Structure 1
């Protein structure tokens, strides 16, 4: 199946398909700790849009090579833009934020397989994905305050909703680094594993998710995002029920799910058309 897919090209990024319904995106700029240049961020945004619109794909994984998952923005590029008076060009990462992820709503889930340093914009992306699998050696942080900039790509409100005001203030205002275990305890990370297992564990979760109804995944995620984006429970449920849920109600996958239960067999899902 993967041979027929044609994802957009992203500089310093490898795209592979370890499972028929899963895309693995690997940042491959290890000599720069996978820091993103502005064009990389814009092209990643295109890649996530392509993923949302590719019917055969049901889950995505983002990871990095070398010591880092992503160390944030390329400060050398930022420094050049500063000297040219064009810093605003760097700050306009993409419509959906840093790496096309930090402010992404999107349609389908993304799992972060955090292999190492996850700092600045890297952490902003991790805070807005659906699940985070981290290596036991991974380090997280928002060091922007130490560099005279701000984590303005979506992390601050999301951080406070996840860990509360006091812990969010600690992370954002002190600029410290935190262990994967600490963030597991705080609810930012789902699971901590050995470094050599981080991508395989994320793939295990992605494959398990892909075995569920793709329509149900999309609609359930939409319902979750309503609460994440500060809608009240009643408003979020009403919007989802009156919107995208109606598009799947009575559809082939809903019928198949019920029928497979009655017949005591595994469901055979069709690619989502939502």
Structure 2
């Protein structure tokens, strides 16, 4: 692995900044600070293309998404939304949803580094990330009911599964902001970073733990987690996981490398995943 920029990395990005803080790790920062990182339709498509590239780039293992400035993402760019709505133009988002994440299934994990407000679509993005690291000053909010609309990016059923009916209902029907500490108490956030610490740095630490593992095992294990999360019961998800994925991990060279490294008492030398 190398922390250098892959030769085929996306170029000319208008709404985001990408970097590679450590081998195998992609950092994507939404770069619309004057708009509190609200996203136009074009910005959603740009992020979608970045994360699709990430899934297909063998040298990368895990991604982090954060925001430049005071906010993570406060949802859709309302100027564009209102203008298009008056013209009868629907919000045509990519298949993977708002920011290329809210409906994303993907192949590799993404960690949300929530540095500030994650509102509306930004909250839906964070909830569909695999892990969340949040600043103590961050907040999560689904304010759509206050604007006469509703969250449509998948957050409602996901929040119900994660936080339970009463908490999900409170958040969705009151539209009140939820603090990072509350979100962690609800089981929706992994780490809260206290003031004076950098949320992206903490997310990179977590990403390093993922990137240090077998890339094949990470991809396949994530599939097993998704099966249970997305509605299948333990029996069905375990059976489908075993039938559909176990052979693929046995056929890969990284499994043997992990076993050899354990036997030889050395660090494994993982190969880029071909899954």
TM-score tier after normalising by the smaller chain length? over 0.9
Asked whether 1:16 is paired with 2:19, we answer: yes
Deviation by residue 1:183-219 (Cα, 9 ceiling, x = unmatched): 0100111010135420000001111110000010000
- Mapped to 1, the partners of 2:64 and 2:43 lie a distance apart of 17
- Mapped to 1, the partners of 2:12 and 2:233 lie a distance apart of 39
**Of 85, 88, 96, which residue of structure 1 is paired with 2:88?**
85
- 1:241 aligns with 242
Any residues of structure 2 matched to 1:235-274 within 5 Å, and which?
235-274=236-275
- Mapped to 1, the partners of 2:45 and 2:178 lie a distance apart of 28
* Local SS of the residue matching 2:18: strand
Asked whether 1:110 is paired with 2:110, we answer: yes
Residue correspondences, number? 271
Is the 8 Å Cα contact of residues 10 and 43 (structure 1) preserved in structure 2? yes
Deviation by residue 1:25-63 (Cα, 9 ceiling, x = unmatched): 001111110000001111211111110000000000000
- 1:33 aligns with 36
- Mapped to 1, the partners of 2:251 and 2:87 lie a distance apart of 58
Is the 8 Å Cα contact of residues 21 and 57 (structure 1) preserved in structure 2? yes
1:9 to partner: Cα distance: 4.6
* Local SS of the residue matching 1:243: helix
- 2:5 aligns with 2
- Mapped to 2, the partners of 1:8 and 1:222 lie a distance apart of 30
Deviation by residue 1:127-173 (Cα, 9 ceiling, x = unmatched): 11000000010011000111111101111110100011111111111
The more displaced of 191-200 and 2-11 is 2-11
- 2:59 aligns with 56
- Mapped to 1, the partners of 2:30 and 2:141 lie a distance apart of 19
Is the 8 Å Cα contact of residues 142 and 175 (structure 1) preserved in structure 2? yes
Structure 1 unpaired stretches of 5+: none
Alignment CA distance shift 1:132-1:250 (3 Å): same
Asked whether 1:149 is paired with 2:152, we answer: no
Is the 8 Å Cα contact of residues 134 and 191 (structure 1) preserved in structure 2? yes
TM-score by length of 1: 0.96
Is the 8 Å Cα contact of residues 15 and 46 (structure 2) preserved in structure 1? no
Poorly superposed stretches of 4+, deviation over 3 Å: none
- 1:128 aligns with 128
- Mapped to 1, the partners of 2:73 and 2:177 lie a distance apart of 14
- Mapped to 2, the partners of 1:129 and 1:81 lie a distance apart of 28
- Mapped to 1, the partners of 2:12 and 2:143 lie a distance apart of 30
- Give RMSD over aligned pairs: 1.2
- 1:230 aligns with 231
TM-score by length of 2: 0.96
**Of 13, 24, 49, which residue of structure 2 is paired with 1:46?**
49
- 1:183 aligns with 183
